[in-house]
Structure 1
Amino acid sequence: MTLLGPVRGTRRIHAINPVAKLTASLLLSVLLLVTIDWVSAAVALVLESILFLWAGLAPRAFFRRTAALWIAAPLAGVTTILYGVPAGQTYLQFGLIHVSDGSIALAVATVLRILAIGLPAVVLFATVDPTDLADGLAQVWHLPSRFVLGALAGIRLVGLFLDDWRQLELARRARGLGDSGRIRRFLNQAFALLVISLRRGSKLATAMEARGFGGDTVRTWARPSPFGGREWLLIAIGAVIGATALTAAVLAGTFRFVIG
């Protein structure tokens, strides 16, 4: 199992239609973006943490896949503390830096909200196979087949980036170019990866067009994409978590509409 590859398993979460996972994640995100207080984000994060136990991810895999969020959330919080909107008592003021009660509260809300929105999205999509997602988008949401197939091809190519990067590293070391100048090495490898990606994407687009994937013909799909009770249950769980979080914020008196 690679970091970008789907997690295989036999739990119920693995059998749920990917479109339902996408819908639940989007619905929860929209509800949590209505307000920017810390109470709603904290309540949502607590409820989500309980459900993570049934997500089909081992603790090590969970933290590996969500590592970027655990790094980005505190960094966003620090930035908000230093440069957030000043309100209440001021603790530090130096140039553009203004640490106050308002900036601290906003920073806490920002950190919790990033985790509350990002963690369930990563966990849900960790069990999604790109082909199953494409089947669902075409059969459940009835999106154009050209868009679905193009998106599927793009997602498949993303998984090759890590392999290409490793191959570039090995090639440079074999030529004695990989032991010094980390910044320069990174820039050179990034440019080489960009060139490889553009070439591969161009060849893939030509091949797909030659095979008729760009036509307007109504297509059939080899694998059915069922959408039933368990999918609606997952969407309902996402809606309930979001509604509960907003209700808690209103009752606590911390609800703060994002606009205004």
Structure 2
Amino acid sequence: MSLVDLDLRHTRLGRRNPVAKLAAAGILSVTLLLSIDPVSAGVTLGLTLLLLPFAEIPARALWLRVWPIAVGALIAAGATVLYGRSAGEVYVEWGLLRISEGSIDLALAIFLRVLAIALPSIILFVTTDPTDLADGLAQIVRLPARFVVGALAGLRLVGLLIDDWRELSLARRARGVADAGRLRRFAGQAFALFVLAIRRGTKLATAMEARGFDAPVVRTWARRSVLRWPDAGLVALAAAIAAASVLAAVLAGTWRFILGL
């Protein structure tokens, strides 16, 4: 389901400047990366879930984007419980497996931390149009136009790669070359897709060069990207959530600065 299908560009978050969304996500992520504790991550995750209805994102669309990260977080937490650094009371010990009070606390912190970093980022960027993001990065952040436009063009081709993979599968099946082993079939099809992507990228680069995308002149933009007061409010809200999470962790005595571990 694409951004156009979801029609999220006209929601409250969709109207915010992508640069402000990038700054808000960065504030939350950097704050959570400073400590490995369940309280700060839990507060950030709880406040994000509390504000989730204001994002106006359909539950199914959000779940389709969150569940792979949730599964990965569960796997990481499970491995930490079994093989993490032991501390405090040891509950189970069998060979290399050692489940202790410290490993359980660390696993909970990792699980909440992954979700607390991923969920706000997904919420913010699922409402962002790539073209608006490119406009903001070039006009506000002042990134090189050549890099921004090239990255936008490459991002626009991701959907075509998915269609190409599907067409390659059907073509190889029609030719009777898709009946080999699964790994061999995947390797051959991936190589064919790689060659196809290189050819399309070369053609796209030539077309962009012919249209003057690399001309040594000051570039103009079809749409202006400006920051407004609601954008500043979004960044301030992210900073308030980050500050609340740090304060809660410090008051609970669980704040552990990563450089001090």
TM-score range, shorter chain: over 0.9
Structure 1 pair 52–180 and aligned structure 2 pair: CA distance change class (3 A)? farther
Residues 163-194 of structure 1 deviation map (CA, whole Å, 9 limit, x = unaligned):
11111222122223446633332222222222
User: Alignment RMSD, CA only?
Assistant: 1.8
Residue pairs, 1:96-245, within 5 angstroms: 96-178=96-178, 181-245=181-245
Contact 1:146–1:215 (CA under 8 A) maintained in structure 2: no
Q: Distance in 2 between matches of 1:6 and 1:24?
A: 25
Moved more, 54-63 or 5-14: 5-14
Q: Which range moved further: 155-164 or 35-44?
A: 155-164
CA deviations 1:127-176 (Å, max 9, x no partner) are 11111111111111111111111111121122222111111222122223
> Would you say the 8 A contact 1:40–1:248 is kept in 2?
yes
Distance 1:178 1:247, change over 3 A: same
Separation in 1 of the partners of 2:160 and 2:90? 50
Please say which of residues 53-62 and 94-103 is displaced more in the overlay: 94-103
* Secondary structure, counterpart of 1:99 in structure 2: strand
Identity of aligned residues (%): 55
Aligned residue for 1:218, secondary structure, equals coil
**Per the alignment, in what secondary structure is the counterpart of residue 92 of structure 1?**
strand
Identify unmatched segments of 5+ residues in structure 1: none
Could you say if the C-alpha distance between residues 40 and 95 of structure 1 is closer, same or farther in structure 2, counting changes exceeding 3 Å? same
Unaligned runs of 5+ in 2: none
Partner of 1:31: 31
What letter is aligned with 1:24? Answer: A
| TM-score normalised over the length of structure 1 | 0.93
Per-residue deviation at 1:5? 6.3
**Rounded Cα–Cα distance in structure 1 between residues aligned with 2:50 and 2:180:** 46
- Change beyond 3 A, Cα 1:187–1:93: farther
Cross-structure match for 1:72: 72
Instruction: Report how far residue 253 of structure 1 moved.
Output: 0.6
Q: Judging changes above 3 Å, is the alpha-carbon distance between structure 1 residues 161 and 150 closer, same or farther for their aligned structure 2 residues? A: same
Stretch deviating more after TM superposition (42-51 or 6-15): 6-15
